Structure 1
Amino acid sequence: MPDTSPVSDINRVHTARSSFGILICEREGYPPFAESSYLKRLSLLGPALGLQTFAFDPLTWDQEDDSVKCWSWNSRMRKWEASRRKFPDIAYDRAWPETKEEKRRYRLAMGRIRAYRRFVLLSGNLPHKAKVYEMLARDREIAAIIPPTVRYRGPSSLASWLQKHRPGVFLKPIAGSQGKRVVAVVQAADGTVELTGRHGDNRPLFRSCASETEALNRLNKWIGGRTYIMQPLLNLRGNSGEAFDLRVLMQKDSNGRWSLTGAAARIGAPGSVTANLHGGGTATAAAETLVSLFGRPRGNELIQEIDKFSYLIAVRLEQSFGRFAEIGLDYGIERNGKLWFLEANSKPGRAAMIPVGRDAAIAAAAQPLSYAKFILLRLATTDARRLPRESAALHLGG
């Protein structure tokens, strides 16, 4: 039966001993938020762990009675219902503000709540890509898989890198996600330059320029005042020339320990410079794809390398930037079998885990709830200030 329109009673306030709130940005339509399928799965799994689960926009917080307008999945009626509940015991950030104005409103709403009350965030946020690369590159072991990375500082900086790195250079915004506004710059032997990437709305970008000067000027205008980083254009392609990378989902388990939930190979759409699913890519199980592309010996070695580096990187990120419940890690593998770390995401999606297998897909949704229960049990039995850093850096108020 399809979802039906909601019945709202937002003046009704519920209280719960253990509540799991999912931060969202409300929007037009029904349901009025992104990832409704994932949020519904969280709502169905929560009660088994004693967690009343609901979604809420921080803009709806009422300081007077410490309540929020929440959206709860009604399994019997098969629809989302709106009401008011007390602010949750723990909050899980799955908000996706899109425009500058939405981001501003969301930031101000969270700041307002932080100014008046303490609250527990399930997971922190990573800083921009350049800072993540800089930190990881200081680890001698991880540095071996970090691509050379510098900031874009205008046309002259890109011209210099084009001279050093053949066949081209890859540029991406330091705060971007989902493959948006990335661009590959490739110079041909006849002096022409091709720009291939994606616009901010994920539409494909392709421009052939007659000269390097034309390409650099066009690209500089397109970048505008945004901050970008540059890396060598790595040969991350499958057998048919399609863009290819790997997504690994690392999550904390019910004991607060890191676990590798699953690894997926993402294959880009024809002609795409990225393999992101939002850009039309598809996902398959990583193990079988690696064996198919690189043969069984090297394929199995790559699986072991990815497993090792994923744990190392998750630990290093947490040591430097605070506690996380989950992190998505992206890797690229060149045709010669060389492994590269591409980027980390503190708000990873779930779509890539579906082809990995039923267990991975279920765990991808269940682990945040299990880890939330772990945190709440610790808070109930121990003074948070005396807990070890691993389990007690609870992002109270931030």
Structure 2
Amino acid sequence: MLYKIVPNNLVSTVKIPAELKEELKNSKEVAIKYGLQTQKIEVIAESSLSKDRLSLSTNTIHELSLPLEGLYELKVNGEEIIIGPYIGILAALTSDSLEKLLPSLSTYVNKYERIGGSIMAFALDGVDQENHCIQGYLYNPSNAMWNKGIYKYPNSLFSIVEASLTDKWKAYQSIMYHFRSYLGNRVFNFPNFSKWEMNKMLTKEFHSYLPETVVYKDADDILNMLDKHGNIFIKPVNGRLGKLVYKAVLTKSGAIIHYGKNGNQKERQFHTKKHFRYFFQSRLSGGEYIIQKSIDLITYHHRVMDLRVIMVKDQNKRWRLLGMLTRFGANGSIVSNITAGGRAEMASKTFRKRLGLPRDIQKRLYRQIKDITFHSIKEVEAHGYHCGNIGFDIGIDQNLKPWIIEINNQNPDHYIALAAGSRSLFYRARMMNMLYAKSLAGF
């Protein structure tokens, strides 16, 4: 049940519906909690109080920094009442960009009544670590608006920012570790793991599903992998959205490098190792890239093609595979990302209509991919990472064997579902993120 909090003029007092009195074991004093704040107050059972109302003294509301706009769930046990949930979403790197994002953030509260409580969106530069408060926006369900203000820390939190390729990466990590020191395991999808860390975690159990990968130290590493495999990718260790990815192909007269960004693909040919080395040494820093064998993936009309598998934790803290979608790269692109001009559709349509796979082959592929994703994310969590929102990139080769290309854990945005024409999948994924955050907050 959702409760409306109403103020009263008493001091340090809570009036509760008579129905709740038994759950408090007739205590005359309780600890009332909201976010990270706690106050000891007197309890009064009020028979005339509506069963969906809780009446708090004005001074207690002020001391708890409790907004009255929301509708709250109550956790009542013994000698305490917990009001919540109070969920924080780190949604932007700067306050200016946060303001522009607010309309899109409403997709997280599409069905507020299933979540309840306080939902705050904030930017990295809005966090005041010294005073333990945040300048951000609190969702008001009565008018579906976001109210700007200064708020106390929430009691669960997740991030949807993409900081790894920006100058805010170190600040982002510092602030997220700061939150984790106060919230513990109630912060999810942090810390983030890189492509190389993913490879190290999974290589023992899943080496047969991982393309051979090494860390870039110098250009000779690229030459060695190219000589060995003939076709390789060079990717940023912490890259996102297919940015700054290079593809190298061995030819009879040397090598061809494909690269570019924002759909602007370039091609360079090299006939000497000296010029090849210089090209990469002038662009890449040791330890910041991986070199990966290119898999001979199935294509459609010469477009690069792979699968995005959406996995989220639900309100019961269990993993759910919500959907599999196909990403088709733009013409001439070496990546399949939607942001690089690609397009998407549901994988079932791809398997059935584009590839014409028999039903038993489709079922086998689904089963294999499900097993790979569930078991590999279990392995990742065994290494101490707290995940709740994951996007698997799975490639399928010419023999219909699935490969783990990447596990996106920084912000696997599920807009791909909209690109594939499935609004219901998109909203379901976002709702699951909120319900998992709610469960971490204790509700």
Superposition TM-score, scaled by structure 1 size:
0.81
One-letter amino acid matched to 2:224? S
Cα pair distance change 1:321/1:94, threshold 3 Å: same
Q: Which runs of 5+ in 2 are unaligned?
A: 1-63, 68-82
SS at match of 1:132: helix
Superposition TM-score, scaled by structure 2 size:
0.73
Match of 1:61 among 98, 122, 127: 127
Which range is displaced more, 60-69 or 349-358? Answer: 60-69
Which range is displaced more, 129-138 or 286-295? Answer: 286-295
Match of 2:372 among 309, 312, 315: 309
Of Structure 1 and Structure 2, the greater strand share is in 2
Structure 1 segment 212-251 matched on structure 2, within 5 A: 212-225=273-286, 227-251=288-312
One-letter amino acid matched to 1:216? R
Cα pair distance change 1:100/1:364, threshold 3 Å: closer
Deviations 1:41-90 (A, max 9, x none): 11333443223212012432345764311124557766544122221121
One-letter amino acid matched to 1:160? N
SS at match of 2:368: helix
Which range is displaced more, 85-94 or 72-81? Answer: 72-81
Structure 2: distance between partners of 1:45 and 1:52: 14
* Structure 2 contact 87–438 (Cα < 8 Å) conserved: no
Cα pair distance change 1:33/1:87, threshold 3 Å: farther
Deviations 1:230-265 (A, max 9, x none): 121222242311111111011111211111011110
Would you say 1:95 and 2:161 are equivalent positions? Answer: yes
Show the counterpart of 1:106. Answer: 172
Show the counterpart of 2:414. Answer: 350
* Percent identity for Structure 1 against Structure 2: 23
SS at match of 1:56: strand
Q: Which runs of 5+ in 1 are unaligned?
A: 1-12, 379-398
* Structure 2 contact 236–244 (Cα < 8 Å) conserved: yes
Deviation at 1:269, TM superposition (A): 0.7
Cα pair distance change 1:324/1:224, threshold 3 Å: closer
Cα pair distance change 1:46/1:21, threshold 3 Å: farther
Deviation at 1:342, TM superposition (A): 0.3
Match of 1:32 among 70, 90, 99: 99
Which range is displaced more, 39-48 or 142-151? Answer: 39-48
Structure with bigger gyration radius: 2
Cα pair distance change 1:60/1:234, threshold 3 Å: same
* Structure 1 contact 252–325 (Cα < 8 Å) conserved: yes
Deviation at 1:97, TM superposition (A): 3.2
Cα pair distance change 1:67/1:250, threshold 3 Å: same
Show the counterpart of 1:293. Answer: 355
SS at match of 2:350: helix
Deviations 1:123-143 (A, max 9, x none): 33332211211221111xx32
Q: Which has the higher contact order (CA 8 A, sep 6+)?
A: 1
Structure 2: distance between partners of 1:57 and 1:63: 13
Show the counterpart of 2:149. Answer: 83
Show the counterpart of 2:240. Answer: 177
Show the counterpart of 1:15. Answer: 66
One-letter amino acid matched to 1:349? D
Match of 2:259 among 193, 197, 200: 197
Show the counterpart of 1:4. Answer: none
Deviation at 1:274, TM superposition (A): 0.4
Cα pair distance change 1:65/1:165, threshold 3 Å: closer
Show the counterpart of 2:395. Answer: 332
* Structure 2 contact 217–287 (Cα < 8 Å) conserved: no
Match of 2:329 among 253, 263, 268: 268
Which range is displaced more, 16-25 or 339-348? Answer: 16-25
Structure 2: distance between partners of 1:84 and 1:357: 36
Structure 2: distance between partners of 1:91 and 1:52: 12
Query: What value does the CA root-mean-square deviation take over the aligned residues?
Result: 2.8
SS at match of 1:60: strand
Deviations 1:279-310 (A, max 9, x none): 11111001221233262243332122111211
